[in-house]
Amino acid sequence: MLPTHTPRRLPALMLSLSSLALLAACGGGGEDGGGLSGYLPDFAAPTLPDSSFLGQGFAGADTVTAQALNALLNSPTYQGTRVNLPFMQSIDPSISTVPFALRASGAAFAHAAGLTGAGQLIAISDEHISPTHVSISGRVTEHSNFAPGDEHGTSVASVAAGNDPGRFIGTAPGANIIFGSWFDADLASLAREALRLRAVAWNNSWGYVDDNRDTLFATETAYRDFLVNNPGGAAYLDALKDYAAYGVVVFAVSNFESDRNSGLMDALPVFENALESGWLAVANGVPTLSGSDVTAVNLISTSCWEAARWCIVADGSWNAAIGSGSEYEFTTGSSFAAPQVAGALALLAEAFPDLSPHELRVRLLAAADDNFAGFSADASVELAEGFFKDYSVVYGHGFLDIEAALRPIGGTALTTARGQKIDTDAPVLTTGSAFGDALEVSLADTEVVVRDALSASFMMPGEALTAGARPASQATALLFDSLTTNLKNERTAEPSALSDPFSEFSAPVSTVVTADGLAKAAVLMPQAGSEMAGVTVTQVLTDGPTKVEVGVKVARDNGSLMSLRSGEGASMASIALGLTQEVGNGGFWALSGEIGITDLGGATALNGSDSARFDAVKLTAGKSGVFTKNDRLSIGVGLPIAIASGETNLDLPVMRQGLSAFESVSVDLAPEDRQVDLELTYQAALSDSLEMKMSVIHSDNFGNRSGLTDTGAALAFSFRF
């Protein structure tokens, strides 16, 4: 439809108003912002329905690759919709980019994610539709229709839901259409039918004009004369209210550049406040894109004005359907921006079947791109409880962004079986290093349902709920040990399998030994701001060349070893056995083993109080006097502390065969692959006052995570003055 499109008149709704006419919103305009005063309606934000049911989650957005999207955009089907630049510059010489609405709106992204609007119904009120056009054939129900002539309705329908493989595709190519003419009785009748059939959106690419073909502005006089005191208009208004209480009414704004106020219908919620939660106004703008980002918008319609709180901008420049066969022609106007928004609602309804049309409307407004040059917020509106969005008198909430609407908006949260909401922007379960990757592995095949700030449900991989603590690098651990140990005492002490009872903790240890050396107590010194603490008592059972020791330990970590709770420590108790054997000439070997239980830090939001068993084992062989009489060389292999057995049941909202339900998911707490350490230590007295210690360690499955390795070395000296 060319911008010089002839207005079509509505036979008298009321004799005293016979000078009023209906005009399909085609044509050109500008983006002069004007002033703020008088354009922001002042009434309460719409009340949104509560949404507590966790329905089907949408994960398709994460499956779209850049290659797949580009393949769609470059295909003949999508390229067939593009409008050429000379045509656009004949409308507005300042336009310097070729419009590509399917790319700019994110509709192509939705298609790449597998969405078509299948199963959804879009109502359209317009002049005439040719239901046999190949792009919409078989998917149109004519509730009422004007006689053949102007094909404006055919073009609008093709933009909303057209599908002509190889030549054309609309915004929601799988949706169906119910069409009605814009006689007052037909409008009311279509509203009732759209409500009965649960149409997600009702598109209106027309607006009232007066006898001079000027826009009928949103004034109290026009509202009362045309919709309140006119019997036909009043019946239409009642039907509008009924439908808008369920679905979303979409109205194109005026295309007249000189307009400095909204039209009556796009701004109707100014007078009927309750309509806002089911109302959208749509302006026409050509975006400048950098990749997929909108950097500027050139409006070629009027601005949003009084309708700004419920207004959005879309690219209404299309090569759209015309006639009853298979022809298309270049066109632009808010008439063709509006059906993209109606089609977008159909796509979202398919993606989020548990959301109401009103909630889908909120998603479109919240996701609208306002990060472009020229957008300046004039006010904000609370779209949902605690969720505010800025909007502009010129651009409304911004440019239509279906892709953003298909992704989580705001933070995501998981709802537990007890109704507690837990933010999932950060891991819910932070496991200590003794678990390794056990939880991630156990949850790898579980899809968890989470909701974003606007109540939409999404499928999230179960392993994303947890994050495992990594131990400090081996180099760091060796350096800490060297700096906190008396190197001479360590070198000259009798070999003992239980000489380092707190090797898994990075904190100072204070040790007390009895006079006969057969009993020892070690205290893990508490640190400021940390729960880490512990005590162990060791007793030598047999002494001599063969030494048997037993130790008992109780400790609490700082959450980095045995805990499932973020920032919370876990308690543990264990018993250790050690066997040290002297083999002559300063040689020895030592074998130690530890076994214990832990409370895992107590109950979490997802599970009750559980416990698990952990263990550790180490074998060391060494010799003193290897190169000099004052040195010691040792080689060791060991499995540091890790969960050995235990499980917990997490109550999760999971996705099974497309449906969500709370399920008790059993999780194995023991890592499949244990960390294995290989150590080499050499100590020597370089002089009476100078000690040296060189340590090298290599770890496979570092942090009890399969395939990870870490190698560290440290060289330490200590001086005595």
In this prediction, residue 465 carries a pLDDT of 86
As a whole number of angstroms, the longest Cα–Cα distance in the chain is 121
pLDDT band at 342 (very low <50, low <70, confident <90, very high): very high
201 SS3 class: strand
Q: HSE on the CB side for 199, CA within 13 Å?
A: 29
Q: What is the mean pLDDT of residues 24-51?
A: 46
Phi-psi region of 138 (alpha: psi -120 to 50; beta: other; left: phi over 0): left
At residue 119, what are phi and psi to the nearest 5 degrees?
85, 0
In this prediction, residue 512 carries a pLDDT of 92
Hey, what are 380's tokens?
A: 């904000």
Q: What is the mean pLDDT of residues 445-452?
A: 89
Instruction: Dump pLDDT digits (tens) for 76-127.
Output: 999 999 999 999 999 999 998 999 999 999 999 999 999 999 999 999 999 9
In this prediction, residue 105 carries a pLDDT of 97
The H-or-E segment that residue 474 falls in is helix 474-483
> Rounded distance, CA 586 to CA 517, Å?
19
Q: Please state the domain extents for the chain.
A: 15-406, 413-468, 474-719
The DSSP result for 230-298, as a single string, is: SHHHHHHHHHHHHHHTTSEEEEEPP--TT--S-BTTTTGGGTSGGGGGGEEEEEEEEEEEETTEEEEEE
> Rounded distance, CA 716 to CA 697, Å?
15
> Rounded distance, CA 170 to CA 624, Å?
82
**What are the Cα distances from residue 513, in Å, to 277, 283, 490, 546?**
76, 83, 14, 20
Predicted confidence (pLDDT) at residue 691 exceeds the cutoff of 60: yes
Instruction: Dump pLDDT digits (tens) for 455-477.
Output: 898 888 888 888 887 778 888 88
Q: Are 334 and 252 spatial neighbours (Cβ–Cβ below 8 Å)?
A: yes
Q: Domain 474-719, what architecture? A: Beta Barrel (2.40)
Predicted confidence (pLDDT) at residue 409 exceeds the cutoff of 70: yes
Instruction: Dump pLDDT digits (tens) for 419-434.
Output: 888 888 888 888 889 9
Residue 265's nearest CA partner among 38, 48, 22 is: 22
For the CA atoms of 36, 37, 39, 41, the dihedral, rounded to the nearest 10 degrees, stands at 120
Query: Average model confidence (pLDDT) for the chain?
Result: 88
Hey, what are 195's tokens?
A: 């409500």
pLDDT-above-70 percentage for the chain: 91
Q: What angle do CA 701, 702, 708 make, to 5 degrees?
A: 60
677 SS3 class: strand
Instruction: Dump pLDDT digits (tens) for 142-186.
Output: 999 998 888 999 999 999 999 999 999 999 999 999 999 988 889
Three-state secondary structure along 89-127? Answer: HHHCCCCCCCCCHHHHCCHHHHHHCCCCCCCCEEEEEEC
pLDDT band at 531 (very low <50, low <70, confident <90, very high): confident
Which residue type is seen at 74? N
> Rounded distance, CA 169 to CA 238, Å?
35
Phi-psi region of 305 (alpha: psi -120 to 50; beta: other; left: phi over 0): left
- Kindly calculate the radius of gyration of the chain based on its CA atoms and give it in whole angstroms: 36
Bigger pLDDT: 711 vs 427 = 711
pLDDT band at 658 (very low <50, low <70, confident <90, very high): low
Kindly tell me the burial class for residue 515, based on how many C-beta atoms sit within 10 Å of its own C-beta (0-12, 13-18, 19 or more): exposed
What does pTM read for this prediction? Answer: 0.82
Bigger pLDDT: 30 vs 448 = 448
The residue written with tokens 């002490």 in the block is 493
In this prediction, residue 42 carries a pLDDT of 59
Instruction: Dump pLDDT digits (tens) for 226-270.
Output: 999 999 999 999 999 999 999 999 999 999 878 999 999 999 999
| Cβ within 8 Å of residue 542, ≥6 positions away | 548
> Rounded distance, CA 697 to CA 554, Å?
27
Predicted confidence (pLDDT) at residue 10 exceeds the cutoff of 50: no
Predicted confidence (pLDDT) at residue 20 exceeds the cutoff of 50: no
pLDDT-above-90 percentage for the chain: 67
In this prediction, residue 632 carries a pLDDT of 96
Kindly tell me the burial class for residue 93, based on how many C-beta atoms sit within 10 Å of its own C-beta (0-12, 13-18, 19 or more): exposed
In this prediction, residue 100 carries a pLDDT of 95
The H-or-E segment that residue 661 falls in is strand 659-668
Predicted confidence (pLDDT) at residue 719 exceeds the cutoff of 90: no
Q: What is the mean pLDDT of residues 401-406?
A: 96
Return the CATH fold of 15-406.
Rossmann fold (3.40.50)
In this prediction, residue 57 carries a pLDDT of 64
